[in-house]
Amino acid sequence: MAENPYRLPRTVIPHRYRLRLEPDLEAATFAGDETVDVTVETEVEEIVLNCAEIEIESAQLTNGTLTIGASPSYDEEMERVRLVLETPAEPGAWELDLSFSGILNDKLRGFYRSRFTDVDGNEQFIATTQFESTDARRAFPCWDEPDFKARFEATLVVPADSMAITNTSEVERKDESDGRVAIRFAETMKMSTYLVAFIVGPFEATDPVDVDGVPTRIVAPRGKLGLADWALECAQFCFRYLRDYYAIPYPGDKLDHIAIPDFAFGAMENVGAITYRETALLIDPAQASQAEKLRILDVIGHEIAHQWFGNLVTMSWWEGIWLNEAFASFMEMKATDAFRPEWKRWLAFTAVERPWAMEVDHLTSTRPVEFEVRSPAEADQMFDALTYGKGSAVLRMIEQFIGEETFREGVGTYLRRHSYGNTVTADLWAGLDGASEWPVGDIMDTWILQGGYPEIEAALVDGALRLRQRRFLAIPDETDDTTWKVPVRLRGEAGGSTFESSHLLDDEETTVPLPTGVEWLTVNAGGSGFYRVAYSDDLLERLIANLADLDPTERYVLLDDRFAAARAGEAAMTSVLGLIDAFSDEDEQAIWQLVFRILGWVHHHLVDDGQLDAYAACVRSVGEPLVDRLGRESKPTDSDLTRRLRGQAVGTLGSLGRHPETIEWAQSTVTQYLDGVEITDAEMLTAALGVVAAQGERDSFTAFFKRFQESSNPQEQLRLLRALTAFDDADIGREVIDATIDGRIRNQDGSWVQASLLGNRQAGGDNWAEVRRRWDETVEVCPPMTFRRLAEGLPALSRPEVAADVKAFFAETPVPMADKAIAQNLELLEANLLARQRETEAVRGWLETTT
Ligand SMILES: [Zn+2]
């Protein structure tokens, strides 16, 4: 800690901040006063704290008898101010008084301004905050490090007709005689600065619901409260579920969930005042798809999980952020799964979050989940697939290995032991080690402190199972001899009965005895292991012959492992295309989603332009029987996932399969929708929008864009925005990119919208040229922390001449806010380029013989 120049000196420790903030929404400025109770530990001549884009007007230190003046000296690069004291201050208790002023920026961080158009067409302003990782210092001078925990008591002076929200309940309000009102809020618990929040503006709130003693509200920009019911239902369930899981009372005095029109992240877990982007909170459930409702449930579960894990117990420094985010992501799955078991959240986790992490983590440019962080810029880059995805996946792996109840006990011990304090990762392992027979800390260190994951080769040798591990890489490297302590769970059938066993593979190779007469076995029982499995040919054949005996997650990882192996050159992609036939009787939406993903990936990277018709016929041969089986109309008996699967199947049939009747159906559905006819099945509407967009017609684009601009429903806007990126046409791509820069598309969405455009099969290269041409403007308007999303579009650009241009561009264009993500996605691009060179010929031959 001492060597890190970004850490503040520990000579002065804050305990309590009394803050008064007066935001001026029109002028985009604010004025503030604060009194901080501090302890001076050793005699000091200056006080150093964080401060950025703030002007300190006066500063003094008092202890009741003595007052010492102080003058500010700013260090902009380090985002600090040194308050140089007129005379040294003795050790003891002091009060630091500061007056200051600052700006409400438009960068979606610190104290910033968001805007929206109300129902009467008037532009309205909101002042709101986003402090994580290190932007509280843009709202008030403070010790802006997570282990400087303190109490906060805020007074907000705001227009009388505005709503003002912070971490705690309102306790007093006074008229200010100038049309404003000063609202004082209760003192918070002892907490980190990054969890403080202030939100001011024309909001409205649901009546508080008493959730076991905790008032809970959904807050939305005026006019949008009609979209709050689903969020309120999710919030109540998740709150109770999580509190019961942790078995610790909620540490705050109320809990608000607030929708913000401009928001860089998905949501932020501020103590008692969780902020969300609108699409992560507001929805009309009657017109929403399962995925849209799930997204809201997920985010709410995640942010409430943080109220204990992260807010009550907090990492000491930013390298511990993985634990915070991984754990909240893990708990989000548990809460969601409990609320809607029929949505099979853990299967969806295996189909979405786990592969998202595995995609980055099979690169040499991956990083350990826990990674040294020194500067704020490095802290901001930690919010990635490894922190959220791999972190939660390896927690799931160890939970399933040691047992759910054992895991829960260990977590409870950890939280109770460290309440209101700060921790390092080893503290959690200590809690789990106390509860489990297995050496949890030793096992987890190999997954957390080193990057990557293994592939386990499984083969039968003399009636026993030989397991061998080696690192699995997108571009294989025989010289890499990293190993992991792999918690392996076996399950299979022998002599007509099933068997299960757990093993710790902590060497390169081990042999496991098996019962006699093994018919089949899986080396990743339940599919929760964060590793790939390469079965010997005979074991693979037995698995394929017994697919129905595997659980859905096991079937999923079997197919996904084969697809990953083919992409890495360990198997032929045509063998994966052949394997899809074995899944023709499959019922699980998540597994079909993988089939469609494989078909889409092959279409994008491996199919020659001259063979698109042949490939479409191949897609139809997969999609038509499925759609025939599901029917084209929803039935009252359909589960939500069946309805979702129908939408995805019809969408794939129409876009990749170019199925004429499906295209016709989509066009007529979209025409009705644009004419104002209510389409009640959101899954089918989403499918129809995608199919029509895939036709690339300019008139459709114009109509979609108009509807996008007119809509005030955040879910509808998002649905249309996705469709706008699916028109595979360079002129349209150029126009969409222009809209991300001139503000017709909100800056919060610019990065992912541009990334999606790079994924167009024909126009992707031209879209890249346009992204490149307008790079500086994009950097200017899009929030820095969203650039990772833009990087995620690069691997699609695998045509050799485009890939070369991409690499050349980033070789000379530094992107400090996302350099790690850029490096990772360029490596993935390289792997895709190699796969294209290696596999295109074979896919051509395969298409000639199968169609
Ligand atoms: Zn989180």
- Taking only the tens place, the pLDDT of each residue in 440-457 is 999 999 999 999 999 999
User: Ligand 1: distance of its center to the CA of 303 in Å?
Assistant: 6
User: Ligand 1: distance of its center to the CA of 697 in Å?
Assistant: 40
Report helix, strand or coil for 12: strand
Cα gap 800→387, rounded to integer Å: 32
User: Ligand 1: distance of its center to the CA of 239 in Å?
Assistant: 15
User: Ligand 1: distance of its center to the CA of 5 in Å?
Assistant: 27
Asked whether residue 2 carries a pLDDT value surpassing 90, the answer given is no
User: Ligand 1: distance of its center to the CA of 818 in Å?
Assistant: 19
- Residue 44's alpha-carbon distances to 6, 91, 112, 395, 715, in angstroms, are 19, 8, 34, 44, 55
Residue scoring higher pLDDT (107 or 664): 664
Q: State the pLDDT at residue 1.
A: 44
Say which residues have a Cβ less than 8 Å from residue 694's Cβ, sequence separation at least 6: 654, 655, 726, 727, 728
Q: State the pLDDT at residue 386.
A: 96
Query: What pLDDT, in 10s, does the model give residues 109-119?
Result: 999 999 999 98
- Residue 656's alpha-carbon distances to 563, 598, 599, 651, 667, in angstroms, are 19, 12, 8, 8, 16
Cα gap 225→176, rounded to integer Å: 29
For the residues 140-158, what does the mean pLDDT come to? Answer: 98
Q: How many CA atoms lie within 13 A of 367 on its CB side?
A: 20
Q: Which helix (H) or strand (E) holds 771?
A: helix 764-773
Q: Which of 740, 726, 729 is nearest to 689 (CA)?
A: 726
252-284 b/e (C-beta count within 10 Å ≥ 16 → b): bbbbbbbbbbbbbbebbbbbbbbbbbbbbbbbb
Cα gap 246→331, rounded to integer Å: 10
For the residues 284-297, what does the mean pLDDT come to? Answer: 95
User: Ligand 1: distance of its center to the CA of 631 in Å?
Assistant: 39
Q: Taking a C-beta distance cutoff of 8 angstroms, is the pair 510, 523 a contact?
A: no
User: Ligand 1: distance of its center to the CA of 107 in Å?
Assistant: 20
User: Ligand 1: distance of its center to the CA of 166 in Å?
Assistant: 19
291-302 b/e (C-beta count within 10 Å ≥ 16 → b): bbbbbbbbbbbb
For the residues 668-696, what does the mean pLDDT come to? Answer: 96
Q: Which of 289, 315, 306 is nearest to 251 (CA)?
A: 306
* Tokens 């919030």 belong to residue: 235
Report helix, strand or coil for 211: strand
- At 434, the pLDDT band (50, 70, 90 cuts) reads confident
User: Ligand 1: distance of its center to the CA of 617 in Å?
Assistant: 43
Cα gap 19→515, rounded to integer Å: 69
Cα gap 752→307, rounded to integer Å: 28
Q: Taking a C-beta distance cutoff of 8 angstroms, is the pair 817, 785 a contact?
A: yes
CA-based diameter of the chain, in Å?
A: 93
Q: State the pLDDT at residue 851.
A: 62
Asked whether residue 235 carries a pLDDT value surpassing 90, the answer given is yes
User: Ligand 1: distance of its center to the CA of 296 in Å?
Assistant: 14
| Strand pairing report for 464-471 and 454-461 | antiparallel
Q: Taking a C-beta distance cutoff of 8 angstroms, is the pair 29, 103 a contact?
A: yes
User: Ligand 1: distance of its center to the CA of 329 in Å?
Assistant: 7
Q: State the pLDDT at residue 812.
A: 96
User: Ligand 1: distance of its center to the CA of 740 in Å?
Assistant: 26
- At 499, the pLDDT band (50, 70, 90 cuts) reads very high
Angle at alpha carbon of residue 671, lines to 665 and 674, rounded to 5°: 140
Say which residues have a Cβ less than 8 Å from residue 3's Cβ, sequence separation at least 6: none
Asked whether residue 730 carries a pLDDT value surpassing 60, the answer given is yes
User: Ligand 1: distance of its center to the CA of 452 in Å?
Assistant: 23
User: Ligand 1: distance of its center to the CA of 311 in Å?
Assistant: 11
Phi, psi of 208, rounded to the nearest 5 degrees: -60, 135
| Strand pairing report for 497-505 and 509-513 | unpaired
Phi, psi of 147, rounded to the nearest 5 degrees: -90, 5
Cα gap 262→126, rounded to integer Å: 9
Q: State the pLDDT at residue 816.
A: 87
Cα gap 215→355, rounded to integer Å: 38
Cα gap 467→487, rounded to integer Å: 12
Count CB atoms within 10 A of the CB of residue 731: 12
User: Ligand 1: distance of its center to the CA of 704 in Å?
Assistant: 33
Identified catalytic residue from 22, 153, 278, 303: 303
Cα gap 566→509, rounded to integer Å: 24
Asked whether residue 379 carries a pLDDT value surpassing 90, the answer given is no
Strands (E) in 294-356, as ranges, are 314-315
User: Ligand 1: distance of its center to the CA of 264 in Å?
Assistant: 13
User: Ligand 1: distance of its center to the CA of 105 in Å?
Assistant: 24
Q: What is the dihedral of CA 514, 517, 519, 521, to 10 degrees?
A: 0
User: Ligand 1: distance of its center to the CA of 80 in Å?
Assistant: 27
| Strand pairing report for 54-62 and 44-50 | unpaired
Count CB atoms within 10 A of the CB of residue 548: 8
Q: Which of 238, 171, 418 is nearest to 311 (CA)?
A: 418
User: Ligand 1: distance of its center to the CA of 268 in Å?
Assistant: 7
Count CB atoms within 10 A of the CB of residue 66: 12
User: Ligand 1: distance of its center to the CA of 825 in Å?
Assistant: 23
Q: Taking a C-beta distance cutoff of 8 angstroms, is the pair 767, 757 a contact?
A: yes
For the residues 221-238, what does the mean pLDDT come to? Answer: 97
**DSSP string spanning 645-679?**
HHHHHHHHHHHTS--HHHHHHHHHHHHHHHTT---
User: Ligand 1: distance of its center to the CA of 306 in Å?
Assistant: 7
Averaged pLDDT score across all residues of the chain: 96
| Strand pairing report for 532-535 and 454-461 | parallel
Say which residues have a Cβ less than 8 Å from residue 121's Cβ, sequence separation at least 6: none
Q: State the pLDDT at residue 378.
A: 85
Is the backbone of residue 455 left (phi > 0), alpha (psi -120 to 50) or beta?
beta
**Cβ burial, residue 221 (10 Å; 0-12/13-18/19+):** buried
For the residues 477-490, what does the mean pLDDT come to? Answer: 96
Strand partners of residue 803 = none
Count CB atoms within 10 A of the CB of residue 53: 16
The two three-digit tokens of residue 571, written as one number: 């198997």
User: Ligand 1: distance of its center to the CA of 276 in Å?
Assistant: 11
Ranking 28-37, 479-488, 603-612, 781-790 by mean pLDDT, the lowest is 781-790
User: Ligand 1: distance of its center to the CA of 10 in Å?
Assistant: 28
Cα gap 435→441, rounded to integer Å: 12
- Residue 35's alpha-carbon distances to 22, 59, 99, 131, 760, in angstroms, are 15, 10, 9, 20, 55
**pTM as predicted:** 0.95
**DSSP string spanning 782-810?**
S-GGGHHHHHTTGGG--SHHHHHHHHHHH
Q: pLDDT exceeding 70 applies to what percent of the chain?
A: 100
- At 186, the pLDDT band (50, 70, 90 cuts) reads very high
- Residue 303 known to be catalytic: yes
Q: State the pLDDT at residue 497.
A: 95
Cα gap 32→49, rounded to integer Å: 16
